[in-house]
Amino acid sequence: MKLDDRIAKLLDNWPAKVISLVVAIFIMFLYNLTRLDQRIITVPLNISEGRSFVPATEYPKTVRVLIRGDRDQIYRIRENDIVASLDLTRYTTEGVYRVPVKLERRGDAVNYDPLELRADPIEVPITFERLAAKRVPISPTFKGFLEQGYELISYEIVPSEAAIEGPTNLINSTKDITTDVIELNGKTGDFSLTVPLVKPSNLISFSDVQTVKFSAKIQKQERRLTLDALAIQILNLDPSLSIVEPIPVGKMTLLPKQGKDATAAVEAHLEADFKGVTKPGVYSIPLTPVVPEGFEVEAYEPLVITVHVRTTPTSPQSSGSPTPPPLPVFP
């Protein structure tokens, strides 16, 4: 067949042939479209910071990535096959900028096609300030309380200062850095431990130390209150009975808890319970200390009082009750 005949045959009824070709392409497109699916994953957001200007506002640590492609392929993609990043190195003046999120394929995702990736958000607004640095003191963070009767007399943090850097305004307003929680509950003796430092903001970084050594000295509490001429209160004495001798006064030594006002100790007293005494005689009655909340009894005396109990005289002149002892007097 001659070339001219071939061309003539090819061009014969060409409008119908073009339409057929377009329809075939469209059908193929629809077929491929039905095979496409989408999936959303969350990936870490990597940051490349500059050295002169740094972020002064918080930014997300992760982003959502919409993956669109062949159904069989997109579900084979793992989170580490997609890398999301912000390039902050090109910002060299203070101000607010919208930084685009860059997405990069790795691993199996490199070979998949068609594959569409879209970040959410596609841009991150960030305020930039000039980088600043200084040294600040380190303060401990305590949790709980020592065993009752013990006190923290001193502590040491080594090193006592940390070098920090970050955006200028934030660094200027930071006065100190704190440690992670140091547990005091139940401790009765000296202890040491290595404890990490806590950033007051994710925008601040430590340029020298990340941890410090904390050492504490603990001793039995020496702050004592001695109450002399302490009242002894009589409880449950039968009205038909009375005590012959004057009631003595007692003495008590108290340990106040940390921060407790010592003046509240004036309410402390000793109690003698005569509940089992039903007839005249000589009795030895044990004493019970009663103290306000926030005080611990270290010692008291007497432990027991010996008293002579008699039948209450019926004469009005003899029916008076013993004069109660005076209130405690602080030395």
CATH number at residue 304: 2.170.120.30
| Domain-located, residue 1 | no
| Whether residues 103 and 86 fall in one domain | yes
| Whether residues 121 and 162 fall in one domain | no
Q: pLDDT, tens digit, for every residue of 18-55?
A: 676 676 666 665 555 555 788 999 999 999 988 899 99
- Each residue's pLDDT, cut to its tens digit, for the chain (331 residues) gives 555 566 666 566 666 666 766 766 666 655 555 557 889 999 999 999 888 999 999 999 999 999 998 888 888 888 889 999 999 998 999 999 999 999 999 988 888 888 889 999 999 999 999 999 999 999 999 998 888 778 888 999 999 999 999 999 999 999 999 999 999 998 999 999 999 999 999 999 999 999 999 999 998 866 778 898 898 999 999 999 999 989 999 999 988 876 677 788 888 999 999 998 999 999 999 999 999 988 889 899 999 999 999 998 875 544 444 545 444 444 3
**Residue whose token pair is 């140091």:** 182
Last residue of a domain, one of 89, 112, 129: 129
Last residue of a domain, one of 129, 153, 185: 129
Domain count across the chain: 3
| Enclosing domain of residue 42 | 37-129
DSSP string, 266-303: GG-EEEEE-TT--SSEEEEEEEEEE--TTEEEEEEE-S
Last residue of a domain, one of 220, 236, 252: 220
| Whether residues 236 and 287 fall in one domain | yes
| Whether residues 247 and 198 fall in one domain | no
Q: Which long-range contacts (CB under 8 A, 24 or more apart) does 247-250 make?
A: 247/272, 247/305, 247/307, 247/322, 247/324, 247/325, 248/302, 248/305, 248/325, 249/325, 249/326, 250/287, 250/300, 250/301, 250/302
Model confidence, pTM? 0.55
Residue 247 belongs to what H/E stretch? none
